[in-house]
Amino acid sequence: METRHFLKVEDMSRDEIVALIADARANRGERSVALHGKCLGMIFSKPSTRTRASFTAGAYQLGGDVMFVSEGEMQLGRGETVEDTARVLSSYLDGVVIRTYLQENLERFAAAASIPVINGLTDDHHPCQALADLMTISEYHDDLAGVKVVYLGDGNNVAVSLMDICAVVGAHVVICTPEELALPQWATDNAARLAAASGARVEVTTDPEAAASGADFLYTDVWFSMGQAEQPAKRARLEPYRIDEELLALTDPDCRVMHCLPAHRDEEISAEVMDGPRSIVFRQAENRLHAQKELLKRLMG
Ligand code: CP
């Protein structure tokens, strides 16, 4: 049987994503032996709270085991190739989650591996976050094809995967960033291709007020991703993109606010909104666990 990987959202079809989310909702809190006798490796070259803890807890709740190692502690850091590492680890483990910088390195690892490889975040994509995001959206809005999701702020990997998953399932997604922080052309071209197949509406804009109008969900992420230096000019440029009460007032009363976390209160999101009644960020964080357990069952079970 062919080894399946999850390196970006489109590695799963619309039907597979919708079924995974339905199962994640139905099986919330599941304890089982679906991964009994199996070991999930996790290779991280960047810090993590949610991804590391939710995969660890999820594997244990399914009766599996986990081996965590930071990339710097491996021979990868001393020049062993990605391919050699992938071949060796494939003979010990039953699946691996990788958090690294270059998507290309993740794809090289997957090409050489004979076990499922899961993207735990790269510079270009964060597909596991997108699964939890869509699961959370589905809990508040039945009709995924009728939902309007607006991402505001820095055009980054979280925005790419959110855009992709909305495009795959046929939602209306708006990516709203300053012009110089817009998503790269390859990302918007790819989302347009996915949208053409699903009937989704993908929009890119620089106007936060127009974007927020009619939104069912406003979504943001930190303005400085891991490893990025603080830049005062970038911070000033992003000020109009903060989700605060003023922006939220332009939406319908049932519009919800999402954030993949970690959050910087009063930077990309005001403390009032982050901790207010329309924030669903902690539900969204919890859903990382439920969505990823279904992913592990599908790839490793
Ligand atoms: N959202 C997210 O991926 O969180 P961590 O960086 O803590 O894993």
Q: Same domain for 31 and 145?
A: no
Task: Please say whether the beta carbons of 35 and 297 come within 8 A.
Answer: yes
What is the layout of strands, in order, in the sheet containing 256-259?
201-205, 172-176, 148-152, 217-220, 256-259
Q: Same domain for 42 and 162?
A: no
Instruction: Find the domain containing 84 and state its range.
Output: 9-126+288-300
Tens-digit pLDDT profile for residues 96-123: 999 999 999 999 999 999 999 999 999 9
E-strand spans in 100-251?
117-119, 148-152, 172-176, 201-205, 217-220
Domain membership of residue 74 (yes or no) is: yes
Domain membership of residue 27 (yes or no) is: yes
How many angstroms is it from 1 CA to the middle of ligand 1?
Answer: 32
Cα 88 to the center of its chain, rounded Å:
28
pLDDT of residue 118: 99
pLDDT of residue 72: 85
Q: Same domain for 82 and 119?
A: yes
Taking the alpha carbons at both ends of the chain, their separation in whole angstroms is 13
How many angstroms is it from 288 CA to the middle of ligand 1?
Answer: 9
Active-site annotation holds for 99:
yes
Q: Same domain for 136 and 277?
A: yes
Q: Same domain for 279 and 163?
A: yes
pLDDT of residue 71: 84
Distance CA 7, CA 11 (A): 7
CA–CA distances in Å: residue 244 to residues 148, 179, 234, 249: 18, 21, 18, 9
Domain membership of residue 167 (yes or no) is: yes
- Spatial neighbors of 207 by CB under 8 A, at least 6 apart, are 176
Q: Same domain for 119 and 214?
A: no
Q: Same domain for 181 and 231?
A: yes
User: Looking at the 3D structure of the chain, how many domains does it have?
Assistant: 2
Q: Same domain for 121 and 165?
A: no
Domain membership of residue 208 (yes or no) is: yes
Q: Same domain for 135 and 102?
A: no
- Which residues does the chain have with pLDDT short of 70? none
Q: Given 172, 259, 288, 290, which residue is catalytic?
A: 288
pLDDT of residue 178: 98
Domain membership of residue 106 (yes or no) is: yes
Q: Same domain for 134 and 278?
A: yes
CATH number at residue 78: 3.40.50.1370
pLDDT of residue 227: 79
pLDDT of residue 180: 97
Tell me how many degrees the CA angle 125-139-63 measures, rounded to the nearest 5.
70
pLDDT of residue 67: 98
Q: Same domain for 229 and 245?
A: yes
- List residues near ligand 1 (CB under 6 A): 48-51, 121, 129, 260-261
Domain membership of residue 196 (yes or no) is: yes
Tokens representing 77?
Answer: 């850091």
Distance CA 49, CA 47 (A): 7
> In the beta sheet, which residues pair with residue 43?
69, 98
Domain membership of residue 3 (yes or no) is: no
Q: Same domain for 259 and 191?
A: yes
Domain membership of residue 1 (yes or no) is: no
Active-site annotation holds for 216:
no
Residue given tokens 């902690």 in the structure block? 282
Which atom of ligand 1 lies closest to the CA of 49? 7
Residue with the smallest CA separation from ligand 1 atom 3 is 51
- Supply the pTM of this predicted model: 0.98
Distance CA 103, CA 80 (A): 18
pLDDT of residue 229: 84
pLDDT of residue 166: 98
